[in-house]
Structure 1
């Protein structure tokens, strides 16, 4: 059973549909293609928060819904918890 959803192929993050424990191997489903991905969660991720499904370089744009939603000042890696500590908005 999946524990997170990814809106579109090419997105860098998925959204937890249940609490995720650090060290847990979890399945995510791409909503646009119904394909899945398995990820090792490096951190605990609360319901509704984001998990990295791709590596993002330092200062790289973060893609969700097929669009840039922010940038990652220090970058992040597959399985990382993605939240306000490692992503900034592009709006200001």
Structure 2
């Protein structure tokens, strides 16, 4: 089985894509490392390797959690399988 993305802990709201060529509508599998658990869903966006994707529904205004750390704020609703980047996430630093 191919692992398309990794998530540190099931409390995280995002994972990181670890394969090239992830395309919208692909069925993708992810590994939640701390729990040694797999999750699957459909990609909603084309996502480059090394970029983040939502692994659970995120509402506008919600904190984005990666490695158990708040890394920013959603500025739009984000569905599982969608790309997270500057178009839908902002830092809380400024």
TM range (shorter): over 0.9
SS in 2 for 1:77: coil
Alignment coverage as a number of residue pairs? 92
Instruction: Say whether residues 1:13 and 2:3 are aligned partners.
Output: no
Runs of 4 or more off by more than 3 Å in structure 1?
none
Instruction: Say whether residues 1:35 and 2:37 are aligned partners.
Output: yes
Deviation string for 1:1-56 (max 9, x for gaps)? 21100011111110000121111001000111110100200111000001110111
Deviation at 1:75, TM superposition (A): 2.1
TM-score normalised over the length of structure 2: 0.93
Deviation string for 1:45-88 (max 9, x for gaps)? 00000111011111111111112110001121111111111100
| Cross-structure match for 2:46 | 44
Distance in 2 between residues matched to 1:39 and 1:91, nearest whole Å: 32
Question: Any gaps of 5 or more consecutive residues in structure 2?
Answer: none
Deviation at 1:91, TM superposition (A): 1.6
Of 53, 71, 76, which residue of structure 2 is paired with 1:74? 76
Distance in 1 between residues matched to 2:71 and 2:51, nearest whole Å: 14
| Cross-structure match for 2:90 | 88
RMSD: 0.9
